[in-house]
Copies of this chain bind each other. A is one copy, B any other.
C-alpha cells in the first residue's frame, strides 16, 4: 500500500537513529534530550499512585479537553484570562501536531528560528506548510529578518522556543521578547511559544514569556516532561478560547482524550507542597553538570570550537570550524560519543557547523570523558 504523498516530506528523526546507533554500552551519549531519570519525583508521586485505585472514574472515558480537576488547577496556575482556554495533550508534541493540523493548509507559511526543534519541523513538513527560517542570534531571532519575513511572506505562525532554545540554548532578551510580540500584533502573525525548558533556569532572573506581551495573538505550549516525567506524556496548550476549540475537535479524532490516571498523577504532583523545591533541586543538579561541561569544552578552543554559555535548559551549542557536521557526528560515534549535528536542525538552508550537546543525562565524569573523546576526534580526523 502506497503511503500518502505528505509522508514523503517527513524526515525520519536523526535523533532517534543516532540514539539507536548509540546502544553500545561504552558509548557516552550527549545526543538525546532526556532528563536524568534520577530526578523523577517518584516520592512525590507515590501518594497519588497509591490512591489511584480508589477513584474508579479515572479509568473511564474522560473529556477531550482534559481531566476536569487538572484543567481547573492549570487555569489558576497559569492565571488564564476569562476568554482564554487550555487543552491537555498527550505530551506537548501532540499540542504542536494539533495546531499544525487545525491551522495549516498546504503552502501556509510558518516562520521558525533557524536552527530549530526537529520535531516541530517534522510536524510542519507533514502538513506541507512552508517553513520560513529566521536566523537565531545571541539574543533571539534576527528582528530585521523576522519583520521582512512577516511583511513579505505573511506567515500564519511564528514557532519559537524563547527560553533555552533547542538546540542553541539561547534565551531571548527582554527587548527581543517585546519586539517580537509587537511584530506579531502588527503583522497579525500568531506566536506559537513553546516553553518546555522554561522552568529549568539555573542562573539569572526569569524574563516574562513573550506571549505575555501579546496574549491574544499567541498559543502557548507547556510540558511536564523536563520537570516531572516524560513517560506520563502530559502537555498543555493554551490561548484564546476560539483558537483552542478547533484543537479540541482535532484531538477528539486523534485520540479522544489523554490518559486520565496520568493526568491525576500530574495533578497530585503539582499540588504537592514539595514540588517547587523539587524543581529547584533539578535545576541545581543540571547547573552543576553544565558547569562541568562548559569548563571541559574550553580545551576544544584551540581546534576552533566555541561553546555558547546558557542560563538554563538542557543543551550547549558547540560551534565547529566549517565542516560537514553530519559526517563529523558519525565519526564521533565511532569514537564513542554521540551528539546531534547542526544539519538536522535546519530545514533547507545551510546553517552553521555545530553540535548540540546535552548535559542533563550524563554524570560529570561522563561529560568530561565525552569531551576528551571529542578532543581526540578533533585532533585525529
A residues in contact (CB < 8 Å) with B: 1-7, 10, 12-13, 16, 32, 34-35, 37-38, 40, 42, 45-46, 49-50, 52-53, 56-62, 64, 89-91, 93-94, 97, 101-105, 108, 119, 122-123, 126-127, 156, 190, 225, 229-233, 243, 246, 249-250, 252-262, 265
- Taking a contact as CB atoms under 8 Å apart, the answer to whether B103 and A255 are in contact is no
Bound Cα distance from A260 to B3, whole angstroms:
28
- Taking a contact as CB atoms under 8 Å apart, the answer to whether B60 and A255 are in contact is no
Q: Which residues of B contact A53 (CB under 8 A)?
A: 42, 45-46, 49
- Taking a contact as CB atoms under 8 Å apart, the answer to whether B7 and A246 are in contact is yes
- Taking a contact as CB atoms under 8 Å apart, the answer to whether B233 and A257 are in contact is yes
Q: Which residues of B contact A4 (CB under 8 A)?
A: 101-105, 108, 127
Q: Which residues of B contact A261 (CB under 8 A)?
A: 231-232, 261-262, 265
- Taking a contact as CB atoms under 8 Å apart, the answer to whether A60 and B230 are in contact is yes
User: Least Cβ distance of A29 to chain B in Å?
Assistant: 13
- Taking a contact as CB atoms under 8 Å apart, the answer to whether B59 and A3 are in contact is no
Q: Which residues of B contact A57 (CB under 8 A)?
A: 37
Q: Which residues of B contact A59 (CB under 8 A)?
A: 37, 40, 42, 229-232
Please give 8 more A-B residue pairs, beta carbons under 8 A apart, in addition to A2-B103, A3-B103. Answer: A4-B102, A4-B103, A13-B252, A45-B53, A62-B231, A90-B255, A91-B255, A258-B259
- Taking a contact as CB atoms under 8 Å apart, the answer to whether B10 and A37 are in contact is no
Bound Cα distance from A47 to B10, whole angstroms:
41
Q: List 14 A-B contacts (CB under 8 A).
A: A1-B243, A37-B59, A49-B49, A49-B52, A59-B231, A61-B225, A61-B231, A91-B256, A93-B256, A119-B253, A126-B253, A231-B260, A254-B254, A255-B255
Q: Which residues of B contact A94 (CB under 8 A)?
A: 254-255
- Taking a contact as CB atoms under 8 Å apart, the answer to whether A40 and B61 are in contact is no
User: Least Cβ distance of A61 to chain B in Å?
Assistant: 4
Bound Cα distance from A252 to B233, whole angstroms:
13
Bound Cα distance from A171 to B251, whole angstroms:
30
Bound Cα distance from A12 to B252, whole angstroms:
9
Bound Cα distance from A261 to B234, whole angstroms:
12
Bound Cα distance from A60 to B375, whole angstroms:
31
Bound Cα distance from A348 to B131, whole angstroms:
36
Closest 3 pairs between A and B when the two form their complex, measured CB to CB: A59-B229, A231-B260, A90-B255
Q: Which residues of B contact A122 (CB under 8 A)?
A: 252-253
Contact of A50 among B1, B13, B50, B89 (CB under 8 A): B50
- Contact A97 to B255, CB < 8 A, known contacts A60-B231, A230-B59: yes
Of chain B, the residue at the smallest CB distance from A229 is B59
Q: Which residues of B contact A90 (CB under 8 A)?
A: 90, 233, 255, 258-259
User: Least Cβ distance of A366 to chain B in Å?
Assistant: 17
Bound Cα distance from A303 to B56, whole angstroms:
40
Of chain B, the residue at the smallest CB distance from A124 is B253
Q: Which residues of B contact A91 (CB under 8 A)?
A: 255-256
User: Least Cβ distance of A120 to chain B in Å?
Assistant: 9
- Taking a contact as CB atoms under 8 Å apart, the answer to whether A105 and B5 are in contact is yes
User: Least Cβ distance of A289 to chain B in Å?
Assistant: 17
User: Least Cβ distance of A319 to chain B in Å?
Assistant: 27
Q: Which residues of B contact A108 (CB under 8 A)?
A: 4
User: Least Cβ distance of A252 to chain B in Å?
Assistant: 6
